[in-house]
Amino acid sequence: MQAAQTKSLKNIEAKMEGLDVNSIRYHILASAKSFKSSWIELGRSLYSVYKDKMYKEWGYVNFDVYVAREIGIRKQTAMKLLKSYYFLEKEEPQYLKSDYTEQAQPVNIPSFESVDILRQAKNKKTIDEDDYQSLKKEIFEKGKDAGEVKKNLGVIIRQRQEFDSEEIQEKRRLSTLKRLVGQLRLLKTEASTLKILSAPLVKDLENLIKNIDLEIGEQS
């Protein structure tokens, strides 16, 4: 693995030779060289390349070939970088400001994998705003890695599913009670009209309807 990484770095350095140090192509290669500490900058640059199809100017037929041959990263990794950067730009732009990256402790600068998990959480209907803010705090303030964040997200989702399941069961119970009390009222009306029940039974029926109404009111 180390040999492969060294070869990849040598390839990047070779491509950097002869390029204008102020060009975006050189800048992207430099960012890729220090991938772990500058993924945000790399993601920003790659997003521009992807959006404007700059890779064609450099002789590559598509984005996948460009990232694989010039930068040495897989399409899957490149797309995660793009999505993570675009997510920050759209949803959490404060973390793209230079003062954040300059002042934040290195341990607290999140990986693109962690940001990608946060992006996915944002789009899940089972995750509410409090859950999202909690995950964001773990990533940007506590510096938790992607594995921990993914594990915590799984716990939150399971808890939400259990809560939703209980809520669904309660709604079904209330719906059943409402149907029942409706049927009892109809029975009381028919019994009163046809006089098929004795007065004590009618009274019991009225009390039953009253008690069920009270329970529905308490649960609603």
- Whether the per-residue pLDDT at 130 is higher than 90: the answer is no
Predicted model pTM = 0.57
Taking alpha carbons only, the member of 96, 125, 123 closest to residue 112 is 96
- Whether the per-residue pLDDT at 145 is higher than 60: the answer is yes
- Whether the per-residue pLDDT at 106 is higher than 70: the answer is no
| pLDDT attached to residue 148 | 84
Rounded average pLDDT over 106-134: 82
- Whether the per-residue pLDDT at 21 is higher than 50: the answer is yes
How confident is the prediction for the chain on average, in pLDDT?
82
Taking alpha carbons only, the member of 74, 89, 69, 61 closest to residue 29 is 69
Q: 121 near 132, Cβ under 8 Å? A: yes
Rounded CA-CA distance 158/164 in Å is 10
